[in-house]
Structure 1
Amino acid sequence: MRQLLVFAERDDAEEVAETLGEWFPELGVPRVVRETLAGEDDAEDAQWLVIVEGLDGAHLARVDALVEERDGWREGE
Structure 2
Amino acid sequence: MPCPDHITSVWCCKGRGLRATVASMTEHLMVFPDRDDAERIADDLRDEGFSEVRVVRESLAGEDDGEDHEWAVHVREDMIADESGAVEQGLRERFTTLAEKFDGWYDPDPAP
Give the TM interval when normalised to the shorter protein.
0.7 to 0.9
Residue matched to 1:42: 65
Residue matched to 1:72: 104
Identical columns (%)? 43
Residue matched to 1:14: 39
Higher RCO by CA contacts (8 Å cutoff, separation 6 or greater): 1
Q: Choose which of 6, 12, 30 in structure 2 pairs with 1:5.
A: 30
Gaps spanning 5+ residues in structure 2: where?
1-25, 80-87
Q: Which has the larger radius of gyration?
A: 2
Q: Please identify which structure carries the higher strand content.
A: 2
**What RMSD in Å do the two structures reach over aligned CA positions?**
1.9
2:54 is the alignment partner of 1:31? yes
Q: Which amino acid aligns with 1:12?
A: D
Gaps spanning 5+ residues in structure 1: where?
none
Q: Which amino acid aligns with 1:59?
A: L
What is the SS of the residue equivalent to 1:53?
strand
Q: Is the 8 A contact 2:28 2:92 kept in 1?
A: no
